[in-house]
Amino acid sequence: MNKTDILAVLEKTVDKKRILIDEPMKNHTSFKIGGPADFLVLPEKMEEITGTVINLKKENIPYMIIGNASNLLVRDKGIRGVVIKLGESYNHVTIEGTKVTAEPGILLSRLAKRIAKASLKGFEFASGIPGSLGGAVFMNAGAYGGEMKDVVTSVKALNDHGEVITLSNQELQMRYRNSILQEKHYAVLEVEMELEFGESDEIYEKIRELDHKRTTKQPIHLPSAGSVFKRPEGYFAGKLIQDSGLKGCRIGGAEVSTLHCGFIVNQGEASAQDVIDLVAEVQKNVKEKFGVDLERELRIIGEE
């Protein structure tokens, strides 16, 4: 099927103003890296997402669904087919008492402010995590002692048949940087959370404290995808990398951060291959020096 035909399929459910053709993915990832997607779709309603997926499946057109892409590396050749981005245009939030219902495109930092304004506690840990709610639930993101599994009660998701299903906290099987959503490639459509009322001053003070830790200990001034590696049992990935003498190690425009060795940063015009080669170099050196296999937390997608 040619691009004109694919565009016609997409326009059945989404306004053509929100369908981008040959769109550089570097414009849509926190790494600022990535070749072009044949099509990038920016839906605003759940019906647009489900309708688009059903139509694409019917025509056997390849597609993938992404969030804010803060944990993704898109390869240099880009992505064939259709990318459906659940971003800032899909970010509605409702707060009723201690129950929060939110669409996955909202940034965690913005959601944390909304929740704090309602004097609800329990979400402060997520205030400094880069990325969107959908991605955070997908990978059970966490920081400073908190994880998404601690607050999420249920999720509406799109399964691989294009059906909307509801999964409870237990059914989500959320554990360290993983969930059933990730294993089955389900897309998050809506998240329900249960929090507690707290003292407004204490909530804001905790958010400020965690934000200060992040800004002083992480290289947020440079494009990155957050922590590249999962925490190996009994170790810290950043310390293993630093103790391997890799602080500041660089391939092309990709560099092991000198501020936090668990991060790889884009120092300017880094290619995806630069990052992939540097990841492999780090894994090789840590394995040789400490006998530890570093597992990637970073997700790599796109045409090889």
- pLDDT tens, 205-235? 999 999 998 889 999 999 999 999 999 999 9
- Residue 149 — very low, low, confident or very high, per pLDDT cuts 50/70/90? very high
Q: What is the mean pLDDT of residues 174-198?
A: 96
Residues 106 and 211 in one domain: yes
Which CATH number do you get for residue 288? 3.90.78.10
Residues 234 and 121 in one domain: no
- Residue 16 — very low, low, confident or very high, per pLDDT cuts 50/70/90? very high
Which CATH number do you get for residue 134? 3.30.465.10
Residues 12 and 65 in one domain: yes
Q: Which residues are catalytic?
A: 177, 227, 297
- Residue 1 — very low, low, confident or very high, per pLDDT cuts 50/70/90? confident
Residues 73 and 155 in one domain: no
pLDDT (tens digit per residue) in 225-282: 999 999 999 999 999 999 999 999 999 999 999 999 999 999 999 999 999 999 999 9
Indicate if the pLDDT at residue 161 is higher than 90: no
Residues 164 and 68 in one domain: no
> Of the residues 164, 191, 215, which one is the last residue of a structural domain?
215
Which residues, including other chains, have CB under 8 Å from residue 87's CB and lie 6 or more apart? 28, 42, 67, 68, 105, 132
Q: What is the mean pLDDT of residues 188-198?
A: 98
Residues 191 and 238 in one domain: no
Question: What pLDDT score does 87 carry?
Answer: 86
Question: What pLDDT score does 123 carry?
Answer: 98
Question: What pLDDT score does 160 carry?
Answer: 83
pLDDT (tens digit per residue) in 117-126: 999 999 999 9
> Of the residues 148, 181, 215, which one is the last residue of a structural domain?
215
Q: What is the mean pLDDT of residues 170-188?
A: 95
Residues 201 and 149 in one domain: yes
| Exposure class string for 256-288: b at 16+ Cβ within 10 A, else e | bbebbbbbbbbeeebbbebbbebbebbbebbee
Residues 150 and 261 in one domain: no
pLDDT (tens digit per residue) in 45-102: 999 999 999 999 999 999 999 998 999 999 999 999 999 999 888 999 999 999 999 9
Q: Give the global pTM.
A: 0.92
Question: What pLDDT score does 163 carry?
Answer: 92
- Residue 294 — very low, low, confident or very high, per pLDDT cuts 50/70/90? very high
Percent of residues, the chain, with pLDDT higher than 90: 93
Question: What pLDDT score does 131 carry?
Answer: 87
Residues 27 and 124 in one domain: no
pLDDT (tens digit per residue) in 134-148: 999 999 999 989 999
Residues 97 and 211 in one domain: yes
**What's the domain range around 24?**
3-85
Q: Compute the mean pLDDT over every residue in the chain, rounded to the nearest whole number.
A: 96
Question: What pLDDT score does 136 carry?
Answer: 95
- Residue 104 — very low, low, confident or very high, per pLDDT cuts 50/70/90? very high
